[in-house]
């Protein structure tokens, strides 16, 4: 960037405030002063947190941008998870959107709205969780915004790049196969457990607290020639339905492709439900589903779970599906 010099001094991080110090007591700029140093900056960051905006060196090719919003009571509850876990989950949810385009995130901005009486350490722990999740993909938190609100709200904007052509939702064609990478249904099982006041089976609850998106699988799919792709954030049937609608095809999901681990059966038995409902209607794991031209095109680490056919909508085992399809923010 000719004519512009990077900052010549980065302030040393201050010690964390004493436990019990609230956000209001610390003040907006005091909290910002504690937050900034928690985020390591990559070589692509010319100017990071601290100025009016970040300056980034972007690679050639497609730039991928997405924004994700988390609202307390709607997306998370502080009594259900630690601030660090909530940070991991908020970041994973946003980062998965770039992955689903076949890209890799390199930069993130974070907006945080919080009541004044929130303990400042909670906000710092949240920042640590976000930073740790972003580190998994090599992304830098380069800035953000902070304001006061009646409840906690977290907004992440992710910026990434695609090494090859991005994968959209519009490329599925009859005769292709549907494949999945990552775990599916675990977070939904965990949410069902937490919603009834329990914390076991632990494996399902931890899956809800900390999603594990297959970050490498998105670029892998793009290089392998995936024709359409999406991350499962709202529900498998719902999100596969977006590919079907945008591509003008029917997609059939085969339940025999899924092996249900013991925790699914334990929770389903306790609730009196079919364990497949967690797989078909569950989101929040942020698995990837993609379509490929043939079985031979499906990369290692992906498993075929269905097929693309002429028609419209989503069927399950060849039949219309009238069960839980997934989450709709304005219908639930």
Residues of the binding site for Mg(2+):
52, 66-68, 97, 145, 231, 234
CA-based nearest residue to 13, from 28, 27, 31, 34? 34
Annotated binding site: 52, 66-68, 75, 97, 144-145, 169, 231, 233-234, 284, 327
Q: How far apart are CA 98 and CA 261, in angstroms?
A: 29
Annotated binding site for substrate: 75, 284, 327
* Torsion (CA) 72, 284, 135, 39 in degrees, nearest 10: -10
CA-based nearest residue to 231, from 136, 96, 62? 96
Three-class DSSP category at 204 = helix
Question: What is the chain's length?
Answer: 332
CB neighbourhood size of 133 (10 A): 26
Could you say which DSSP state residue 257 is in? Answer: G
- CA dist list (Å): 295 to 200, 228, 304, 309, 316: 37, 15, 8, 15, 20
Handedness of CA 31, 79, 154, 110 (dihedral sign): positive
């Amino acid at each position: 960037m000719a004519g512009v010099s990077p900052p010549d001094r980065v302030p040393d991080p201050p010690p964390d405030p004493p436990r019990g110090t609230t956000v209001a007591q610390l003040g907006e700029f005091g909290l910002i002063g504690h937050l900034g140093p928690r985020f390591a900056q990559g070589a692509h960051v010319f100017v990071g947190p601290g100025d009016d905006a970040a300056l980034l060196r972007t690679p050639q090719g497609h730039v991928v941008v997405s924004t994700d919003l988390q609202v307390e009571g709607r997306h998370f509850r502080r009594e259900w998870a630690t601030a660090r876990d909530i940070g991991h989950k908020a970041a994973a949810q946003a980062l998965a959107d770039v992955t689903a385009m076949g890209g890799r995130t390199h930069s993130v901005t974070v907006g945080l709205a919080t009541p004044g009486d929130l303990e400042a350490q909670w906000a710092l722990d949240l920042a640590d969780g976000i930073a740790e999740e972003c580190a998994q993909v090599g992304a830098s938190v380069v800035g953000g915004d902070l304001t006061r609100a009646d409840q906690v709200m977290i907004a992440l904007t992710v910026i990434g790049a695609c090494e090859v052509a991005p994968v959209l939702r519009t490329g599925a064609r009859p005769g292709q196969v549907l494949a999945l990478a990552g775990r599916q249904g675990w977070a939904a099982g965990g949410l069902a457990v937490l919603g009834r006041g329990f914390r076991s089976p632990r494996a399902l609850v931890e899956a809800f607290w900390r999603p594990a998106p297959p970050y490498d699988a998105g670029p892998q799919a793009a290089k392998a020639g995936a024709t359409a792709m999406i991350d499962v954030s709202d529900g498998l049937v719902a999100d596969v339905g977006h590919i079907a609608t945008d591509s003008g095809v029917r997609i059939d999901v085969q339940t025999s492709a899924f092996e249900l681990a013991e925790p699914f059966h334990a929770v389903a038995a306790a609730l009196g439900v079919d364990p497949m409902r967690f797989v078909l209607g569950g989101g929040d794991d942020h698995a990837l589903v993609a379509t490929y031209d043939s079985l031979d095109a499906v990369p290692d680490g992906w498993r075929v779970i269905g097929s693309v056919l002429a028609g419209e909508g989503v069927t399950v085992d060849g039949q219309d599906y009238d069960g839980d399809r997934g989450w709709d923010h304005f219908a639930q």
